[in-house]
Each structure stands twice: as C-alpha cells, then as structure tokens.
Amino acid sequence: SQTIHQWPATLVQPVGSPLSLECTVEGTSNPNLYWYRQAAGRGLQLLFYSVGIGQISSEVPQNLSASRPQDRQFILSSKKLLLSDSGFYLCAWSTVANYGYTFGSGTRLTVV
C-alpha cells in the first residue's frame, strides 16, 4: 500500500534561519507531488507541485523553494525564514486525477 511520510511534525525556528522539510512516498512510482501551506484559520494554499524528477512548478512568489531529487522525494526549503512563513505545511501525492490527493501528517512551523 502507498504511504507518505513527512517530518518533522513540529518545528520552531528563528527568523533568518534556513529551513528544510522532507517528504517521501512509498508504494507508488512517478507520483505527482505537492507542497501546501495552511496559515492559522485559513485555507490551503498550493506552493509547489512536481510531475517528475527535477521538475518543479511554483504557484506563488515567496521566500521558499522546492526540489525533487528522487522520484518519491520532495523537499521544501528556505534560505532565510520570515515570520510570515509560519504555518502548517502539508505534502501530498496523487497518481490518478480523479482520486484526489493523499496528504502527509504535516509539519507545524513556527517562526519566532
């Protein structure tokens, strides 16, 4: 069966520090991968998506970047965090359009 792993679950980082969040998927090949952010009390915002190794599409200009070094690995990074980067970061995967996404358990990031 397919599983998605995301870590860490919680992170507190100072302003200006770097960030690296990792997401891996097991049990499937060539998934579409996504990074979403959910700010407190707000909806999910798509940040990046990838349809293959090395391919990244960015949805909104921001302080973050993404990479996909392997088929089932998706990384979200920042060189210098801002207070506004705080939020709940969710990785998701899909392979068939009509079956929606499966989300990882998320990383709750607080920038202080």
Partner 1 sequence: RKEVEQDPGPFNVPEGATVAFNCTYSNSASQSFFWYRQDCRKEPKLLMSVYSSGNEDGRFTAQLNRASQYISLLIRDSKLSDSATYLCVVSWWGGGNKLTFGTGTQLKVEL
> Where on the chain is the footprint of partner 1 (CB under 8 A)?
32, 34, 36, 42-44, 46, 49, 51, 57, 59, 88, 90, 94, 97-106, 108
Q: Which helix (H) or strand (E) holds 25?
A: strand 19-26
Q: In one letter, which amino acid is 41?
A: G
Considering the complex, what minimum distance in angstroms separates the CB of residue 85 from partner 1? 18
The residue (of 13 and 32) whose beta carbon lies closer to partner 1 is 32
- Regarding beta strands 44-52 and 87-94, do their DSSP bridges make them parallel or antiparallel, or are they unpaired? unpaired
The residue (of 50 and 78) whose beta carbon lies closer to partner 1 is 50
Considering the complex, what minimum distance in angstroms separates the CB of residue 96 from partner 1? 9
The residue (of 39 and 82) whose beta carbon lies closer to partner 1 is 39
